[in-house]
Amino acid sequence: MAESKSVKTIMNGIWRDHPVFSMLLGICSALAVSNKIENAIAMGAGVTFVLLATGIIISLLRKIIPKQVRMIVYMITIASFVIIVDRVLKAYFPEISDSIGPYVGLIITNCIIMGRAEGFYVANNLGQSFLDALSNGFAYTYTLVAVAAVRELLGFGTLLGFQVMPDFMPRWVVMSMAPGAFFVLGTLIWITKTISGQTED
């Protein structure tokens, strides 16, 4: 029984209630930092770390936190871990930190984390919250990497910095800029919605 609940938690996270495609959470950063795969991986790792840490803290403290101030408690918890992510990126990956800059700080307002804290961690124990954080973080990361792969390939002709496209192919510069982000994510939403059959009528 416990097994099946865990499996359900994971499946909900990575496909059925996919944070980006079906809940439309965390779109800002999914669009803004997905111009290169390395940025996407760094952002995905950062969000996963904050999700895990917040999940652990909130699910452990869920009986102590008074209901009226829970939002502020989430915010402070999330912000503290975001500072850690920001410092680690600055110290060990200065180039990535330069290119995604302020968007690391914006992990605080990434609605995935707030959404999971309010919707899942307050009501579930440590183990379930851990699984949920892991699967949501993974879902977010693979979405970012998928968008980034398309944009980097078309915009720069590279994948993870290695040249893939032949030289005679023109670079599709728009793809590496803001409009490309909208088009690629819009198309991905279309594809996933069609596959999963969750259409709006």
Q: State the residues that interact with another protein by CB under 8 A.
A: 24-28, 31-32, 71-72, 75-76, 79-80, 82-83, 86-87, 101-102, 105-106, 108-111, 114, 174, 177-183, 185-187, 189-194, 199-201
For the bound state, the minimum distance from the C-beta of residue 34 to another protein, rounded and expressed in Å, comes to 9
Name which of 19 and 128 has its Cβ closer to another protein: 19
C-alpha–C-alpha distance, residues 6 and 78, integer Å = 24
List all residues 6 or more positions away from 150 whose beta carbon is below 8 Å from its beta carbon: 175, 184
Residue 126 or residue 188: which is nearer to another protein going by CB?
Answer: 188
Nearer residue to another protein within complex by CB, 30 or 37: 30
What is the residue whose two structure tokens read 């991986």? 41
Any idea which residue has 């023109």 for tokens?
A: 170
- Distance in Å, CB of 22 to another protein, minimum: 9
Which residue lies nearer to another protein by CB, 31 or 146?
31
Instruction: Provide, rounded to whole angstroms, the least separation between the CB of residue 33 and another protein.
Output: 9
Contact predicate 44/140, CB 8 Å: yes
Give whole-number Cα distances, 170 to 146, 149, 155, 158, in Å. Answer: 21, 17, 9, 12
Chain-centroid distance, C-alpha 15: 14
**Minimum distance from CB of 195 to another protein (Å)?**
8
